[in-house]
């Protein structure tokens, strides 16, 4: 994934093979490698997202009196020995990597440097949304949360859902979907992820496709982590069948939202699922969706399911028809929008989730 305006990483080494390996890793993170052979100015040194340099270059930069800064990484073609560590300390390098053996570590360090420069130190939150039973409307509610939030990443973790981009109305928007990613884990820069994904109505979306595609747990975790480190609210649509990626996301979410229809069968299914969810994450709450064909009240449904009630919403006329004609739009006064806003207000800053 490559950013449309990638930040610069300076690569300082006279070893052509080592330089090529470093430049390949920098490009993989979505940053722009710039090989430097001449003496560096203080301005260039300070302006780069990161500095990747070998032992000889580190000693030269130290002799030139370049100031201490973050994002300095010393690289070597073999396991670093005492002289390499001494050079790293002299120039103020925070990390030392042997390439190509420690490519993954270098990717992580560069991603952290890019986030620190481009996105600041903000930390986002994660909401996992799951249906109490099939057809409960979890994907619709997850999409509504993403649309209502000011800055969001919508992650489709249901391999059998047909693609949440269809629900958002973003199926023709260019960008990567899950089948396009050859990703198993590691650290990703949010700027690179953001620029690679479709964006629609202010929502960055990583969607499944029209055919089943297994999602690696590490890949799901890497994308969610990138969004969080970029300060985004990450909304994850989970399947009811607990895949590895879904289980990993469930455990790490700040809030788990269960969607249940307000009927006897839906509430019974939700009550059966609730202990499994609470066993993985204590911050679980319930959203009850009308209609109520038997007169069951939302508070009664929450009591049966033994979950705090986050929101109850009335039926929304013509919702399915509107989605079919161009994707979900959340109207200001709609029951769906009101319920989404209520959940976002309840998102806990820490501790247990509280009922509405």
Per-residue confidence (pLDDT) for residue 186, from 0 to 100: 66
Diameter of the chain by CA atoms? 80
Phi and psi torsions of 75, nearest 5°? -120, 155
Rounded CA separation 57/39 (Å): 10
pTM: 0.69
- The reply to whether 8-118 and 125-346 are identical in fold is yes
In the chain, domain spans? 8-118, 125-346
Average pLDDT, the chain: 88
Per-residue confidence (pLDDT) for residue 151, from 0 to 100: 84
Rounded CA separation 263/130 (Å): 17
Taking only the tens place, the pLDDT of each residue in 222-237 is 899 889 888 899 999 9
Rounded CA separation 320/223 (Å): 30
Task: Say whether pLDDT at 5 is over 70.
Answer: no
Per-residue confidence (pLDDT) for residue 124, from 0 to 100: 86
Q: How confident is the model at residue 3 (pLDDT cuts 50, 70, 90)?
A: very low
Q: Would you say domain 8-118 falls under CATH 3.40.50.2300?
A: yes
| Burial class of residue 81 (count of CB atoms within 10 Å of its CB; 0-12, 13-18, 19+) | exposed
Q: How confident is the model at residue 351 (pLDDT cuts 50, 70, 90)?
A: very low
Taking only the tens place, the pLDDT of each residue in 186-212 is 667 787 788 899 999 999 999 998 887
Length of the chain: 356
Per-residue confidence (pLDDT) for residue 38, from 0 to 100: 75
Return the CATH number of the domain spanning residue range 125-346.
3.40.50.300
Rounded CA separation 191/266 (Å): 40
Task: Using the Cα atoms of residue 130, residue 134, residue 136 and residue 137 in order, give the sign of their dihedral.
Answer: positive
Note whether 204 and 167 are within 8 A (CB).
no
Per-residue confidence (pLDDT) for residue 73, from 0 to 100: 95
């Amino acid at each position: 994934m490559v950013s449309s305006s990638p930040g610069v990483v300076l690569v300082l080494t006279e070893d052509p093979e080592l330089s090529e390996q470093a430049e390949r890793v920098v490009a993989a993170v979505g940053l722009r490698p710039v090989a430097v052979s001449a003496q560096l100015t203080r301005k260039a040194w300070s302006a780069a997202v990161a500095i990747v340099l070998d032992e000889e270059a580190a000693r030269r930069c130290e002799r030139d009196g370049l100031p201490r800064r973050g994002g300095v990484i010393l690289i070597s073609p073999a396991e670093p020995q005492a002289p390499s560590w001494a050079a790293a300390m002299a120039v103020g390098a925070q990390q030392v990597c042997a390439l190509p053996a420690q490519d993954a570590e270098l990717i992580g360090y560069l991603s952290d440097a890019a986030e620190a420069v481009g996105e600041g130190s903000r930390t986002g939150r994660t909401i996992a949304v799951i249906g109490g039973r099939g057809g409960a409307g979890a994907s619709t509610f997850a999409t509504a949360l993403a649309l209502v939030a000011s800055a969001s990443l919508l992650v489709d973790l249901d391999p059998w859902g047909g693609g949440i981009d269809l629900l958002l109305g973003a199926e023709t928007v260019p960008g990567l979907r899950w089948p396009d990613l050859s990703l198993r884990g590691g650290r990703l820069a949010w700027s690179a992820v953001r620029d690679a994904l479709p964006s629609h109505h202010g929502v960055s979306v990583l969607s499944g496709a029209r055919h089943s595609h297994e999602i690696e747990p590490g890949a799901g975790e890497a994308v969610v982590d990138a969004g969080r480190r970029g300060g985004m609210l990450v909304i994850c649509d989970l399947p009811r069948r607990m895949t590895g990626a879904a289980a990993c996301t469930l455990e790490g979410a700040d809030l788990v939202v269960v969607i249940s229809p307000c009927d006897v069968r839906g509430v019974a299914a939700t009550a059966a699922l609730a202990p499994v969810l609470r066993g993985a994450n204590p911050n679980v709450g319930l959203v009850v969706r009308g209609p109520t064909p038997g007169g069951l009240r939302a508070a009664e449904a929450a009591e049966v399911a033994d979950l705090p009630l986050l929101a109850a919403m009335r039926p929304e006329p013509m919702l399915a028809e509107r989605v079919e004609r161009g994707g979900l739009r959340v109207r200001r006064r709609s029951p769906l929008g009101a319920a989404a806003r209520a959940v976002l207000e309840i998102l806990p800053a820490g501790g247990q989730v509280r009922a509405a």
